[in-house]
Structure 1
Amino acid sequence: MHRRSFIAAALGSASVLGDTAQARAPRTRLHTGAALAFGTTVAVTVRHEDERVARRAIDAALAAVGRIQRLMSIYDPGSEVFRLNRDGVLGAPAPELLAVLRHARDLSQLTNGAFDITVQPLWEACRQAFGQGRPPSAAERERARALVGWRQVEASPERVQVRKRGMRITLNGLAQGYAADLALRALRQHGVAHALLDTGEFASSGAAQDRPWALGVPDPRAPGRLAASFALDGRSVATSGDYEAAFTRDFVHHHIFDPATGSSPADLASVTVLAPTALEADGLSTAFMVMGARCAHSLAARLGGVDVLTIDKRGQAWRSPGFPEPL
């Protein structure tokens, strides 16, 4: 399942937003780096006065992203997730994989199962059926849904296993966010205080010259147009949308599945989440797509540091009270 949060970085496009003191601060150069991971281009932009320091930091950040890709890809035969899906059991899992699996379990509990890493059989059933020009039959969907259940995944430092034969997991709703968090940590360890990371999810630190980092949220029904743009406030950002990987042109069938029904959720076209970490933002954006606008906003209001912008199938947008004001 390829998942991409098509938020466009709006660097330099916003009017000056920094305060007077920031505007008078010495200007430093922007340095960029990129690599392929998670089926997309991962980009790192940092602001630092020393190019050598900036380059070492960017290399370390991209290396952190690459490690998570190698551990958690569902397509790479050498990845731990691939081996778990193939064999049903994985010995001595990497600490990073365990950390993401623990977060996945916590998020599944928090959302009453709306978030579920075991939905991969549903995606595979849809890919196969729509590849033949038809939707999956009720029987095909039900067979796939019988293999879904987050409680059937056991994880410990000794091993990870799935209890049902034929179960498959996907960490595409978490791995990109986790990679962004680790990449940001690597940048800070190299002395970089100002950075924007795009792994498909966004993490940031500091500011871009005399203004904050700014992002645009695409209109889910109008390619090339923005539904919102805002300045980052230090939190991480993730967007999920029915347009990102749709099986049908009407967006009824797409890459996000409601584990309870086996079908794609029908309420929302797009969800953008701001959260303290990119891992949290990544998982919540998927869960909120499944939960629908009302439940998503209700849960976001109970979570510290979390805000959400939902856009439904009719184009109705709903911002939580702490969501940044539009530029």
Structure 2
Amino acid sequence: MGTMNRRRFISITAAAAGCGLAWPAFAATPLQEAVSWRGQALGAPTSLVIYHQDPVAAERLLRQVRSEVDRLEQIFSLYRPGSAISQLNRLGALAMPPSELVALLETCRKAWEVTGGVFDPTVQPLWKVLAEHFSMPGASAGGPTSTEIREALDLVGFDKVSFDQSRVAFGRPGMALTLNGIAQGYITDRAVELLRRGGIEKSIVDLGEIRVLGSKPDGGPWQVGIRDVATPAGRAAAIELVDKAVATSSAAGFSFDAAGRFTHLLNPRTGASVTGDRSVTVTARDAAKADAFSTAFSLMSSEDIRAVVKREGDIDVMLSDSRDGWRTP
């Protein structure tokens, strides 16, 4: 979580079969044509392939998706100083917030509750302390002082955020939110909603997270290849998806220091960073859920992950590291 994309470490790409890790030219059905688009969303490369019998109508849908992505970035992006979340972080409160922000905060609250507070979008003060420390010339390799970490932790806690349709407010001055651990998934889901309303039954959407609509044009499941570049030779695996989403997180996504001791995956209770080469891949019915749980599970033990998976009932998890390769928790 934070202001940088957290999973460019992994190549996660739709493949027509097997685990080919390059964006393919899928074979369209005789009555449908594949129309594709590539761009950027929340700082991450994005791509979209849809199938439609009318290329003009398909292009119109793609324009609608691009417009929606831009609109939602103006709400969720920490890169944009005028975004709703940037204003909230500066002011500590936001009157008449966008309905999408309130909806996503509600999703965050559910993930926060289910994970026992491990998923917590209020860790932005911790990110800021680390970013400021390691941006200084001659910064200590040991990271910020214990006092600095403790002061940042005093500003962390999703229970200190109040929100409804009329107002979002922080309970303490200096608090801040990052939705980078879930917003890409939410935007992906909104794009899928647009496509469904436009009559699209088969599509693959990658707006920072991947979600597939229906099956492949040939009726089989989409196969998504995941390649973990944090492990030797970029160990690869394939996941079959029909009307599902997939998201992946790892400490290897970004580190503040060259040694990799201070990463973007921050424990909201202790302030410590997740280190090592374990990656977590989650499939779920929607991309926001896959996004949130892939973040949270990166901070959790296998036992705790299994407990959440059993309780939720609609998510699957794969772990990978250099010792054991891909496996279930």
Q: What TM-score, normalized by structure 2, do the two folds share? A: 0.88
* Distance apart, 1:224 and its partner CA: 6.9
Per the alignment, residue 55 of structure 1 pairs with 59
SS at match of 2:196: helix
* Distance apart, 1:76 and its partner CA: 1.2
Per the alignment, residue 33 of structure 1 pairs with 37
1:155-193 CA distances to partner (integer Å, 9 max, x unpaired)? 011100001100010011111000000000001111111
* Distance apart, 1:316 and its partner CA: 4.4
Per the alignment, residue 307 of structure 1 pairs with 316
Is this contact kept in 2: 1:4–1:40, CA < 8 A?
A: no
SS at match of 1:260: coil
**Structure 1 residues 25-34 or 294-303, which shifts more?**
25-34
Q: Does 1:2 pair with 2:10?
A: no
* Distance apart, 1:246 and its partner CA: 1.7
* Distance apart, 1:291 and its partner CA: 1.4
Is this contact kept in 1: 2:50–2:202, CA < 8 A?
A: yes
Per the alignment, residue 18 of structure 1 pairs with none
Q: Does 1:209 pair with 2:211?
A: no
Map 1:62-73 onto structure 2 (within 5 A).
Answer: 62-73=66-77
SS at match of 1:290: coil
**Cα distance change, pair 120–285 in 1 and its aligned pair in 2 (3 A):** same
Per the alignment, residue 163 of structure 1 pairs with 171
Looking at structure 1, the residues matched to 16 and 211 of structure 2 have their Cα atoms a distance apart, in angstroms, of 17
SS at match of 1:238: strand
**Cα distance change, pair 311–222 in 1 and its aligned pair in 2 (3 A):** closer
**Cα distance change, pair 253–313 in 1 and its aligned pair in 2 (3 A):** farther
Is this contact kept in 1: 2:252–2:277, CA < 8 A?
A: no
1:205-251 CA distances to partner (integer Å, 9 max, x unpaired)? 12333343221212242487343122213211111111111223453
Looking at structure 2, the residues matched to 99 and 235 of structure 1 have their Cα atoms a distance apart, in angstroms, of 20
Tell me which amino acid in the other structure corresponds to 2:151.
R
Per the alignment, residue 79 of structure 2 pairs with 75
**Cα distance change, pair 29–64 in 1 and its aligned pair in 2 (3 A):** same
* Distance apart, 1:283 and its partner CA: 0.6
Q: Does 1:271 pair with 2:275?
A: no
**Structure 1 residues 272-281 or 126-135, which shifts more?**
126-135
Per the alignment, residue 225 of structure 1 pairs with 234
**Cα distance change, pair 311–162 in 1 and its aligned pair in 2 (3 A):** same
1:289-325 CA distances to partner (integer Å, 9 max, x unpaired)? 11132211221122121000122464543226xxxxx
Q: 2:290 aligns with which of 281, 293, 301?
A: 281
Is this contact kept in 2: 1:268–1:289, CA < 8 A?
A: no
Looking at structure 1, the residues matched to 5 and 116 of structure 2 have their Cα atoms a distance apart, in angstroms, of 23
Is this contact kept in 2: 1:3–1:173, CA < 8 A?
A: no
Tell me which amino acid in the other structure corresponds to 1:233.
V
Of all paired residues, the percent bearing the same amino acid is: 34
Tell me which amino acid in the other structure corresponds to 1:148.
V
**Structure 1 residues 125-134 or 233-242, which shifts more?**
125-134
Q: Does 1:181 pair with 2:189?
A: yes
Per the alignment, residue 14 of structure 1 pairs with 18
1:28-51 CA distances to partner (integer Å, 9 max, x unpaired)? 321111232201222111122211
Q: 1:317 aligns with which of 307, 312, 326?
A: 326
**Cα distance change, pair 225–27 in 1 and its aligned pair in 2 (3 A):** farther
Pairwise CA RMSD of aligned residues? 2.3
Per the alignment, residue 24 of structure 2 pairs with none
Per the alignment, residue 122 of structure 1 pairs with 126
Tell me which amino acid in the other structure corresponds to 2:163.
A
Q: Does 1:100 pair with 2:108?
A: no
Q: Does 1:84 pair with 2:84?
A: no
Q: 2:115 aligns with which of 89, 111, 116?
A: 111
**Cα distance change, pair 182–24 in 1 and its aligned pair in 2 (3 A):** closer
**Structure 1 residues 81-90 or 50-59, which shifts more?**
50-59
Is this contact kept in 2: 1:93–1:159, CA < 8 A?
A: yes
Q: What TM-score, normalized by structure 1, do the two folds share? A: 0.89
**Structure 1 residues 87-96 or 201-210, which shifts more?**
201-210
Looking at structure 1, the residues matched to 62 and 221 of structure 2 have their Cα atoms a distance apart, in angstroms, of 20
Per the alignment, residue 256 of structure 1 pairs with 265
Tell me which amino acid in the other structure corresponds to 1:107.
A
Aligned pair count reads: 314
Q: 1:154 aligns with which of 141, 158, 162?
A: 162
**Cα distance change, pair 315–126 in 1 and its aligned pair in 2 (3 A):** farther
Q: Does 1:137 pair with 2:145?
A: yes
Give unmatched runs, 5+ long, in structure 2. Answer: 20-26
